[in-house]
Each structure stands twice: as C-alpha cells, then as structure tokens.
Amino acid sequence: MTASAYTCAPALDAYLRRATWGLPEQRRQELWDELEEHVLTRTDHLLLSGLSPQDALTQALRELGAPSRVTLGMAKVYSMPKLFLAATTAALGLSATLYALAGGREMTFTLPVLTQQPVKPSCVRGTVPTSTGLTIVSQQGGVTCYTFNDANAYKGVFLSGTDLQQAINAQGGKATLQGARLSIDLPGLTTGGGDLNAMFTKDGTPYYDAAMVVGTLSTPLTITLKGFKAPQVQIGNLKLQLGQPGTNVGRAFYNPLALHLVSRLLPREQATPLRMVSGGWFAAAPGETPQGPAHTIQTGLPEGEVVMLVTKQAGNTFMADTAEVKAGGSVSLKSEAENLRFVTDPAQLGPYASGGHINALLLRLSNTPLNELPSAIFLPKQTTSSAR
C-alpha cells in the first residue's frame, strides 16, 4: 500500500486546508501540492519501518508541525520576491524552505532502522583463514571467501541513504548520494567525515552504519545525544530519532560510536583522520546485553541518562561500554578489568593496575554537546568498583 492512497484522507485534507489558509490564491495550490507531496513521501518511508498506514500518516503530519506555524511561515516567505521563492523551494521531501516555513523550530525526523544486514561473504587473497568462527564458502585462484558463524556479526543499526539525504537537506546542509557513496556537507563542515561508503545495499537502497554517520560528522553545529533504546541525535536544530518508539538498539548504536567519542577526549594528534582511536567495545546485538560479569555503579544521575565506561589497554587502545541509568541512579557496565578505580583525567588511564585497580573514566553521554565531552566526565558515589 502506498501513501498515495491518503490523498483523500480527512486528516491530511484538514491539515492542508489549515496550513494554506489565508495565502494568496495563486500561491495556495502550489504550496498545497508541495506539502502534500512531502507528507505522502514521508508516509511511504514510515510504512517501511513497520508502522500501520494510519500511524505513518499521523507521524508524518506531526513531524511537519502545527499547521498554524506552517501558515505563518508561508505568509512570510510569500511576501518575498518570487525569484527568491523559486530559488529556494525544493521539489521533494521536507526542503530547507519548508523547514523555514515551520518557523525555524526544532524538528524531529524519525529514521527507520534496519538491524540486520544481508549475509554476504568476505574474501581475502593469499592466506586461508583458519578461525573456527568462520565458514569457508569458496576457494578459487588464491582467493578465499567466508562467512561468519555468529549471526550477531551481521547485526547493527543501519540507516537508509535516502532517509539521511532528506533529513540533512532539511537542515540546510547538502547530502548527495552517488551510487553507494554518501557525501555530507553540513553548514561549516571542516575536514574529514564528509564521505561514507555504504555497508550494504538492499532493494537498490544503500544503508550506512548509524554510529559511523554520527561519529564522522565534523561541524561547528552542536551535536548532542539523548535516549538509549531509541537514540535521538540532535545536530543544531535538527533532531534525528533512530527508530520508532519501542525500538531497542541502545548498545548496538552507542558501543560502536564509543571509540569516536573517546577520541574527542584526547589530543588531536592521537586520533585518526576519522576521529577514531583504536580499541574495542562490548558487542551486543540490538535489544541484547553482553553476557558476563558487570560493574554496578551508583551514578547519582537521573533515570534514562546514557553513561559510557572507558579503560585503556596496552599502547594507545581503549575499551568501552555504554548503558542506560536505571531508576535510583544505578547503571550496569562491562569491563575487562575486574577491579576499577574512577578518575577524571584521560591522561590517568593506563593498562596497569595500581593497588589492584585499573583506572577508568565515566562519562555522561546524553544531553552533553559532543564538542564539550570532557565536561561529561564525572565521579560516581563510589571511588572503586568490583565486577560481579
């Protein structure tokens, strides 16, 4: 079922009438058509995420904002010269002009997420892999192709390139898709992180790792994170909701992002061009929690905040885990170290124990601008922790 079936929906018709009320007659139909096109296109996207047809339409209208706000913005735009209007009106999706029509307010774009990528063999030339975690599927001409036995290796949080393009363009930036390559140009973009290769393609649409998209953005616009199970990423006034309410991708999104975030705590020369240090994180498929001992820490933070635990391994490598604060302020986090001592300076991190404890950092990731991440370091109520 396509969103075109909603052209006669009472809710859509009422919204469009209210949003275009009072505008010059010669402009009214033009704006009606553009708004309708956006709503129907957005409804189609939301249908793919599993929403019912009615819920998808309701969500699309909610994202566009109150019709009275749109009406006011439209009246302002249409008092400008016609040439300016023609130059700034987009043909598809919620354009930067429509963003301005909505009053320049903060807007939330709900991006459907895929949590499973297609199982596709990886291939190497020369040495034949011998790991018990692999299954060799072909060997020819010195090239060996294999798949992973662990199904979680193909799980993650992936975003459609077309959805990302629409959302970024609405912010006044520019996102361009060329085959499987996504080029992002946000206002004030500096160096690095402007181009991403798709993780995979499904039904002709390229998909990108959500953590990589956020981690490689380089812009003076404030970037903040909020929520764990269905994370929200805010870039300037643009809010990207990763998944519908009820989604649970917490660790699957935050843990791969962790090493990008750790790099923001270090001197720039210690980070790679993609602003990511080396190391690892505790892998967890969407909706799952890593098994094994964990540190239960009393943070003193409100329920729902997102906390990251960081330790340093040999060399300049790090290990991280993230979790959501529970009622009462406690959080459960994984670490390879059984005994931890909490510190406030990244320079104090190291692989060697002192007094039987490894130094560790705790950071409040949610509601903290990423360019101010050092300010997110905090000490919990206890100075040390032992895994249970």
pLDDT in tens, the chain (388 residues): 344 455 456 778 777 777 777 666 667 777 777 778 778 877 777 776 667 777 778 777 776 666 655 554 444 444 433 333 333 333 333 344 444 444 445 567 889 999 988 888 888 888 888 888 889 999 998 899 988 888 878 888 999 999 888 887 776 677 888 888 888 876 554 443 467 889 899 888 999 999 988 887 777 778 899 999 999 998 877 788 898 878 899 999 999 898 888 888 876 544 443 345 566 777 666 777 777 779 999 999 999 999 999 999 887 788 999 999 999 999 999 998 999 999 999 999 999 999 999 999 999 999 999 889 999 999 998 999 999 8
Distance (Å, whole) CA 239 – CA 101: 17
| H/E run at residue 255 | helix 250-263
| Separation of first and last alpha carbons in the chain | 51
> Looking at this protein, which amino acid is placed at residue 257?
L
Nearest to 237 by CA among 218, 221, 217, 219: 221
Nearest to 333 by CA among 350, 308, 358: 308
Residue 250 backbone phi and psi in degrees, to 5: -35, -80
Structure token pair of residue 117:
């990528």
Q: Give, as one character, the DSSP assignment of residue 333.
A: E
The order of strands in the sheet holding 181-185 is 174-178, 181-185, 195-197
Residue 324: strand pairing partners: 306
The order of strands in the sheet holding 113-116 is 113-116, 155-160, 205-209, 200-202
How high is the pLDDT of residue 378?
96
How high is the pLDDT of residue 3?
43
Nearest to 306 by CA among 326, 283, 286: 326
Structure token pair of residue 184:
């992002």
Kindly provide the b/e burial profile for residues 10-38, where b requires at least 16 CB atoms within 10 angstroms of the residue's own CB: eebeebbeebbeebeeebbeebbebbbeb
Scanning the structure block, which residue is given the tokens 């040999």? 314
Whether 275 and 313 have beta carbons less than 8 Å apart is answered as: no
Q: Is the pTM of this model over 0.85?
A: no
CA-to-CA separations, 339 to 173, 295, 353, 380, in angstroms, rounded: 46, 9, 9, 15
